[in-house]
Structure 1
Amino acid sequence: MPKRALVVIDMINTYEHEDADVLVPSVREALPAMRGLLGRAREQGLDVIYVNDNFGRWRSHHDELLDSALRGPHADLVEPVRPDGRSLFVVKARHSIFYQTPLEYLLAQQGVDRIVLCGQVTEQCVLYSALDAHIRHIAVTVASDAVAHIHPGLARAAFRMMERNMNAEVLPSDRVDLGEGVPGEGHGGR
């Protein structure tokens, strides 16, 4: 049976960047679906992997990033989806979750052959990550209501590209098949 992992993209965020004023309302709209997906994944024992920008601080680690985001003006967008003690964490520097990160190796070690993507930004990091997964022969599902966008039209085009060009499943979060995990395991607890 295919093994899945939930990948949460760039949700540990201070929202102190260009386009944040446009992005924040979309994140607020996507947050309930993200929370629901995270809850289901954790309950089913799936690995939950946070892949996050490092804010340009090469000395940053996940606790520092999380603390900074929780002290920021939009902590209410971070707190509901924060990593738990079993979550895995990968720091990235560019748009793709795979670009010069250990994620591909981590997925192989965990036996994951399908990733479920949620987070931000649909027409940027989510799209590029789906493409990079596709070229690595890793199947992709995108929870369409659990990803936030900056430009609605580009987000719709990104969904179409992911479905058509990358064979991604693009589904509402309540229709995403998370497969079967082992309750109480996963999240890096192996």
Structure 2
Amino acid sequence: MNTTEQFSRITDDIAYLVDEAEALTLVIDVVPATEKSSGITSILDMIYLIDHAQLTYFRPLVEQLFSLPKVQASLPDFRTTADFSSIQHESTEAVLKNLIRNRKSFVAYLQAAGQDCIEKAGEINGQTRTIADVLQEMIVFERQQLKLVAERVLAIDRSNQNKGKPQQ
């Protein structure tokens, strides 16, 4: 795959999160997004973690790799730096809107940087990684999170349907 195709595929995958988040806004009001049970992360926390990762890890890392001649970074895992208490009084809709706004901004940044940006590399936590590698890691993480959100929404929906059925 050449650079043009790779860049197009990556930016399409990254932009797809906007579609997923917009679709979530249609169903999120019918499920208890802040509910946590049996050690399971809430839907709100899962959505927040995607945005947190984008804002505090992936985007700053991409910007450093793109703009600095030599990058050597040692970054903590974004999962350990998320402050879930900061969103507990926000609506799920507000968290989704922030995610959508931030993602659109990131996609615009990447498109302005151009296709050659994905080949720039630096040393991240002791490994040489390109911008394409970092973006692919972000895509994989987000797909996993969105899968968990979908599974959680389905489980809640099934539970609600079962509550409405008469016992046999």
TM-score (norm 1): 0.30
Q: Point out the structure with the larger strand share.
A: 1
TM-score (norm 2): 0.33
